[in-house]
Amino acid sequence: MAAAEIIKKIRQYCKAHGNAAQVKKYQRFFKEGYDAYGLDLATYDSGLKMIMDDGITLKVILEAAPDLIKSGKYEETSFVLSLLKRRNSEFSAKTFKEIEKWFKIGIINWAHADMLAGDIVPVFIQKGIVPLDALKSWQKSENKFQRRISAVSLIKLLKGGKDAAMLIKFVEPLMTDSAREVHQGVGWFLREAWVIDKKKTEPFLLKWKNTAPRLIYQYATEKMTPLEKQKFRKEKK
């Protein structure tokens, strides 16, 4: 099946099953805006199965991706990411380079960023397709969601056994980031790092507690007791 046919099929399906009430229900979670058809989860899953049953290849997914992602329609990008993660056994360095192009044309909300960070980007590093350092340039991206992914992707690596100290050091350039979404992502990673290895995480939290955005610490200390949290409060001048 050609890319143009897949694009047409996805759009026809979304238009046929859209629900304005669903859009209204979820738009409050997306402060950047939520341009969606309004597919509920069951309908989305049915559409995904239909497309997968057509035997769509990784090559076709990547060819269709730019058109779908740049549309700005929530479900169109979601379909791309859902299809892509089901072809992770075929990932290559070229696939990674194609994904990097998407941040200039789309990936404009936290949900799609976290789909990439949870199910797609870590696979490249876990399988040795690209090194961890491939994410260094992401930390400097103009796209705040690409910067967020460079932190959130580390959670899967951390839980997979990567050294916590190395990963904690890796997020340090993001401790002065200006975007709320990045603060949330960094804090989320540090929270999981603290759960797994307190000894390696706490010195880092102490180092930055007076200078890093407080939202990072709000997330990073979520699983701590009130007494444990006290150590990481910003000192009064």
Q: 209 and 170 share a domain? A: yes
- pTM (two decimals): 0.94
- What is the per-residue DSSP string for 11-36? HHHHHHH--HHHHHHHGGG-TT----
Q: 189 and 234 share a domain? A: yes
Domain boundary among 57, 90, 123: 90
Confidence band, pLDDT 50/70/90 cuts, at residue 210: very high
Residue 33 belongs to a domain:
yes
Q: 122 and 79 share a domain? A: no
Count how many domains the chain has.
Answer: 2
pLDDT of 84 strictly over 90 = yes
Cα distances from 66 to residues 1, 70, 76, 104, in angstroms, run 17, 6, 10, 10
Cα distances from 94 to residues 52, 116, 129, 153, in angstroms, run 22, 16, 10, 19
Residue 25 belongs to a domain:
yes
pLDDT digits (tens, 9 = 90+) for 146-205: 999 999 999 999 999 999 999 999 999 999 999 999 999 999 999 999 999 999 999 999
Range of the domain at 50: 1-90
pLDDT of 54 strictly over 80 = no
Q: How far apart are CA 221 and CA 229, in angstroms?
A: 6
Q: 164 and 205 share a domain? A: yes
Q: 128 and 50 share a domain? A: no
Buried/exposed 36-72: b ≥16 CB within 10 Å, e otherwise: bbbbeeebbeebbeebeeeebebebbbbbbbbbbebe
As given in the structure block, the two tokens for residue 148 are: 């967020």
Q: 5 and 57 share a domain? A: yes
